[in-house]
A and B are shown apart, each in its own frame.
Chain A
């Protein structure tokens, strides 16, 4: 692709006075509230998801503060249980699952495909409003008597507790539809709106990642929908599906729940893989190592992810045979995931590496995801999982991959596409400092938790034995460090929106299609999308850096 040369480049004014773009095109609240422009919808998602992240983070800090000492520190048992439940539910359903696809994908996907919009713009807006409604519904649980079941809503506790389970579960139910419609939209967009010349194997890996994620969103989310609906109906009418006192089977709930929630973790991480696959080649000025493999492995992981849900249930009383099958297939997923890491690292070999903020986040991802992924292997080993299940080891594992993986990649992608989306450059120094603090905070918070877990400390514990205190305190310090890192990053990006230097079309020298249009793009994205004649990571050598504009332009032959 990229021949970001000739026609496209010449026809687009780099920076002109009357530079109407999608942000300035229409003004007023209504123009945003009823917009059909995927970029505006993406920006709204971005603001909403980041706000939800701040709220979820607040609950996390409350939890970690309470855990500074055993027994009561700042709150009672019940409040603590509500805090960790809300933290989990908000982070999973409001932040990470929509996260990269809705906030970054919406802005970038059509640009990657040289398209004017996604296939169903109205459905896209509907997805966003469903997110808002789901969010409000879930938060209303806070106002009544915040849910305390843990984000996993296990029956029969969830069908019998006196807290406001239904608003939270119904909120998650609505959010599920938001996710399904986004996935549906992306699948059709990728199938039907690719430009001439862009075969599947010339698509950017971010698109492959969004495609694989969308498949999971569409196929898995309906199952959590019906599960939550069954649980809510059971609460109200006493159906007797999950509650043994009414004749039900609690393990059935677990099967239904994890049938979605395991693929859900791939919804969370596969887009992150896509972002990292975009950043590393650009900042190494080198074609991605093993493009085809990474593309196919995203699909393979999506598919296999549906077959391993029972590895969350080794101690549930499920049969040995079932457990064995689930463990075996889990190992199958580990391998393509490991190979991706090797491919990314190999991309840097003999490249020319630039350590701007997006790259720092990508490197942080490689470190943190390696640890997170390897500890997943511990949990896949059935015998070892018996000891580790429901301990802090699991908490550390999933925070390493979700926080360290998905959130780090999200921040990397945010910095990477910030100039394109908003037409402003952020302050590089502040960006880097933020990245380093986040990285340190991450490790300080969650590494001690591996040790807590392997030494037997269970999770979701308000109180704990005094001998665990040292590690808990380390973890709490880490949490606040993480908070400072995020705050700094937020301030840095906020300032950039107002005071940032004007961004060139292509500050990083990328060769995917979004860099061939103006920053920020006009509302219709492209004058004429350039024809696609090469792969998405070919052509770095055809660009030269122009110091005057602080960005890359095509080499004049």
Chain B
């Protein structure tokens, strides 16, 4: 567990000039001014002995921080898992509302930004200031694009009444959505028929299971597998629907999905925003020419953070958008 190599190296270097005889009381950084290592490395903090030690400390620090971020999101992934296993129909239902194309676009955008971030680290190590700044700017631009696409998605959701928790009031039925119709045309038609029945008879009392078992009203035939299966899977009919006295209605727990969706993507988006802030700060430091072979830690660590943000999205995307 110990790192004797760095420590003894540090010891050798630090013991070079003997400071004992100086009057330290009046001299703020007296003993450091004698130390050639600190003199040669303006970005080396006073409490570290060598740039290597400073970098190693920073690296361990950022990994620990990323570990805490993973644990932070883990709680949400855990809630997701618990709910998906208890209410799979909600997840099937809700994903039809999500725009997979936009989600995929965001995934690509983040992947590109991870590439430029990694490249930026190399640039910093080699003190290639111009390329470093370009890469940082592209990373920021990608992040910005991500946030814009996110805004578009959120705006759609707001417009469609797909809000979290108790504000969930979808304006469209899922069988009216293109994503549903394209994948399950027969089911969509059957759903429309059921919906028409509901419109006609507002106070029809009926046992919940009766409509499915083949004891259907005179006007509709018994459903086929293709017609019924997608509706059952999405909780539109059957015991998990919101209104068992109706022929068809959305699943009872549908609002929970959107709660989880907004929470997870919202928290992730918040981390992207923070990332943008940090990259801007790095851009300013890069512009001043701070980075080189002896000091590239901040870029390295920011890139690591950025990779984690990307990785979290790579898990979120299939879990939320690609549910079949």
Contacts and interface: CB of A to CB of B under 8 A. Distances in A.
Interface string B76-98: 10110011001100000000000
Given A239-B164, A522-B24, A115 B47 contact: yes
A20 B25 contact: yes
B56 A192 contact: yes
B253 interface: yes
30 contacts: A19-B25, A20-B25, A120-B57, A120-B61, A184-B61, A184-B68, A187-B60, A188-B57, A188-B60, A192-B60, A196-B11, A198-B2, A199-B4, A200-B2, A218-B67, A222-B74, A223-B71, A223-B75, A226-B72, A227-B75, A229-B267, A230-B75, A230-B76, A234-B259, A237-B165, A238-B166, A239-B263, A247-B255, A249-B86, A252-B79
B64 interface: yes
B7 A247 contact: no
Interface in A151-193: 180, 184-185, 187-188, 191-193
For A192, A223, A233, A246, the residue with the greatest tally of chain B CB atoms inside 10 Å of its CB is A192
A221 interface: yes
A116 interface: yes
Contact of A247 (B31, B60, B78, B252): B252
Interface in A405-447: none
B68 A222 contact: yes
Nearest to A118: B47
Contact of A119 (B61, B73, B78, B165): B61
Contacts of A252: 79, 82
B20 interface: yes
Interface in B232-262: 252-253, 255-256, 259-260
Interface string B45-69: 1110000010011001100110111
Contact of B64 (A218, A237, A238): A218
B164 to A, nearest CB: 5
Contacts of B31: 524, 527
Given A200-B2, A240-B165, A246-B165, A187 B64 contact: yes
Given A191-B3, A192-B6, A528-B20, A246 B72 contact: no
Contact of A222 (B56, B72, B86): B72
A249 B60 contact: no
A18 B25 contact: yes
Interface string B11-42: 10001001110001110000100000000000
Nearest to B64: A184
Given A192-B3, A192-B56, A184 B24 contact: no
Which 4 residue pairs are nearest across A and B when measured between Cβ atoms?
Answer: A239-B259, A226-B75, A238-B166, A238-B165
A250 B71 CA distance: 21
Contacts of B18: 528
B256 A241 contact: yes
Contacts of A246: 165-166, 255-256
Contacts of A193: 47, 53, 57
B263 A230 contact: yes
B308 to A, nearest CB: 13
A256 B255 CA distance: 21
Contacts of A247: 87, 252-253, 255-256
Contacts of B2: 194, 198-200
Interface size class of B (residues with CB under 8 A): 35 or more
Interface of A: 7, 11, 18-20, 115-121, 123, 180, 184-185, 187-188, 191-196, 198-200, 218-223, 225-227, 229-230, 233-234, 237-241, 246-249, 252, 256, 522, 524, 527-528
Contacts of B75: 222-223, 226-227, 230, 256
Nearest to A525: B47
A239 B56 contact: no
A363 to B, nearest CB: 33
Nearest to A12: B20
B1 interface: yes
Contacts of B163: 237
B157 to A, nearest CB: 13
Contacts of A192: 3, 6, 53, 56-57, 60
Contacts of A184: 61, 64-65, 68
Nearest to B166: A238
B173 interface: no
A221 to B, nearest CB: 7
A527 B20 contact: yes
Contacts of B61: 119-120, 123, 184-185, 188
Nearest to A256: B75
Given A184-B61, A218-B64, A238-B166, A196 B7 contact: yes
Interface string B149-191: 0000000000000011111000000000000000000000000
Nearest to A24: B25
Given A119-B57, A119-B61, A241 B19 contact: no
A237 B166 contact: yes
B7 A200 contact: no
A474 to B, nearest CB: 42
A219 B71 contact: yes
A230 B77 CA distance: 12
Contacts of A222: 68-69, 71-72, 74-75
